[in-house]
Amino acid sequence: MSNERLESGDDIIICRDVHKWFGDFHVLRGVNLAVKRGEVVVICGPSGSGKSTFIRTINRLEEHQKGTIIVDGIELTQDMRNVAAIRSEIGMVFQSFNLFPHLKVIDNVTLAPIWVRKWPKEKAEKVAMELLERVGIPEQAHKYPGQLSGGQQQRVAIARALAMQPKIMLFDEPTSALDPEMIKEVLDVMRELAHSGMTMIVITHEMGFAKEVAHRILFFDEGNIVEGNTPEEFFRNPREERTRLFLSQILTH
Amino acid sequence: MTAISEAVQPPRSEIGVLGWVRKNLFSTWYNALLTLASLGFIYVVLRGLLTWALTTARWEVVTTNLTLFLIGPFPRQQVWRVWVCVLMVVLLGGLSMVAWGAPGRRHKWIRRWVTVGWLLSFPLTIMLLHGFASSSLLPLVGTSYWGGLLLTFLLAIVGIVASFPLGVLLALGRRSSLPVVRWFSILYIELIRGVPLVTVLFTAAVMLPLFLPEGMRVDKVLRAMVGFTLFTAAYIAENVRGGLAAVPLGQYEAARALGLSGWQVMGLIVLPQALRAVIPPVVGQFITLFKDTSLVVIIGLLDLLNIAKSVVAQPQFMGLKREVYLFVAVIYFVFSYAMSYASQRLEKALGVGER
Ligand SMILES: Nc1ncnc2c1ncn2[C@@H]1O[C@H](COP(=O)(O)OP(=O)(O)O)[C@@H](O)[C@H]1O
Ligand SMILES: [Mg+2]
Predicted confidence (pLDDT) per residue in A36-54, tens digit: 999 999 999 999 999 999 9
Please indicate if any CB of chain B lies within 8 Å of the CB of A171. no
Q: What is the mean pLDDT of residues A214-221?
A: 96
Residue B308 in this model has a pLDDT that exceeds 70:
yes
Spatial distance between the Cα atoms of B56 and B39, rounded to a whole number of angstroms: 25
**Strand order across the A40-44 sheet:** A90-93, A168-172, A199-203, A40-44, A216-221, A224-229
Look at A113-122, B49-58, B295-304 and tell me which has the smallest mean pLDDT. Answer: B49-58
Residue A4 in this model has a pLDDT that exceeds 70:
no
Residue A112 in this model has a pLDDT that exceeds 50:
yes
Q: Which chain A positions have a beta carbon within 8 Å of B250's beta carbon? A: 94, 96, 98
Cα distances (angstroms) measured from residue A34 to each of A16, A201, A207, B255 = 8, 11, 22, 26
Beta carbons of A140 and A131 less than 8 angstroms apart: no
pLDDT of residue B214: 72
Instruction: Please report how many Cα atoms fall inside a 13 Å half-sphere around the Cα of residue A15, on the Cβ side.
Output: 23
Q: Which chain B positions have a beta carbon within 8 Å of A104's beta carbon? A: 353
Q: Helix count (H) and strand count (E) of chain A?
A: 10, 10
Q: What is the mean pLDDT of residues A80-99?
A: 92
Look at A46-50, B2-6, B74-78, B226-230 and tell me which has the smallest mean pLDDT. Answer: B2-6
Cα distances (angstroms) measured from residue B74 to each of B63, B67, B77, B84, B308 = 17, 9, 9, 14, 15
Q: What is the mean pLDDT of residues A147-162?
A: 96
From B111, B137, B69, select the one nearest B310 (Cα to Cα): B69
Beta carbons of B152 and B294 less than 8 angstroms apart: yes
Residue B355: pLDDT band by 50, 70, 90 thresholds? very low
pLDDT tens figures, B250-272: 999 999 999 999 999 999 999 99
**With pLDDT > 90 as the criterion, what percentage of chain A qualifies?**
89
pLDDT of residue B272: 94
Please, which residues bridge with residue B95 across strands?
none
pLDDT of residue A5: 40
Q: Specify the fold of B60-74+141-350.
A: MetI-like fold (1.10.3720)
Write out B100-142 in H/E/C secondary structure.
HHCCCHHHHHHHHHHHHHHHHHHHHHHHHHHCECCCCCCECCC
Beta carbons of A143 and A70 less than 8 angstroms apart: no
pLDDT of residue B23: 83
Beta carbons of A190 and A211 less than 8 angstroms apart: no
Q: Tell me if ipTM is over 0.90.
A: yes
Residue A182 in this model has a pLDDT that exceeds 80:
yes
Q: Max CA-CA distance within chain A?
A: 55
Residue B106 in this model has a pLDDT that exceeds 80:
no
| List of residues 6+ apart from B163 with CB closer than 8 A | B228, B229, B230, B231, B232, B233, B236, B289
For residue A82, the CA-to-ligand 1 centroid distance in Å is 25
Residue A82: pLDDT band by 50, 70, 90 thresholds? confident
Q: What is the mean pLDDT of residues B73-91?
A: 92
Asked if A115 and B260 come within 8 Å (Cβ–Cβ), the reply is: yes
Pick the more confident residue, B24 or B332.
B332
Pick the more confident residue, A7 or B92.
B92
pLDDT of residue A194: 96
DSSP characters over A114-131: HHTS---HHHHHHHHHHH
Residue B5 in this model has a pLDDT that exceeds 70:
no
Measure the CA angle with vertex B275, ends B284 and A162; round to 5°: 165
Is the CB of A204 inside a 6 Å radius of any atom of ligand 1? no
Spatial distance between the Cα atoms of B176 and B236, rounded to a whole number of angstroms: 17
pLDDT of residue B7: 59
Element (H, E) at B350: helix B321-350
Report the residue of chain A nearest B264, measured CA to CA.
A115
Look at A197-206, B29-38, B253-262 and tell me which has the smallest mean pLDDT. Answer: B29-38
Please indicate if any CB of chain A lies within 8 Å of the CB of B347. no
Asked if B355 and A116 come within 8 Å (Cβ–Cβ), the reply is: no
Spatial distance between the Cα atoms of A178 and A172, rounded to a whole number of angstroms: 13
pLDDT of residue A6: 41
Query: What number does the ligand 1 atom closest to the CA of A51 have?
Result: 22
pLDDT tens figures, B129-177: 998 888 888 888 888 899 999 999 999 999 999 999 999 999 999 999 9
Asked if A104 and B259 come within 8 Å (Cβ–Cβ), the reply is: no
Average pLDDT, whole number, for chain A? 92
Of these ranges, A17-31, A81-95, B317-331, the one predicted with the greatest mean pLDDT is: A17-31
Where helices occur in A9-79 by DSSP H, the ranges are 51-58
What are the residue ranges spanned by the domains of chain B?
60-74+141-350
Please indicate if any CB of chain B lies within 8 Å of the CB of A145. yes
Residue B346: pLDDT band by 50, 70, 90 thresholds? confident
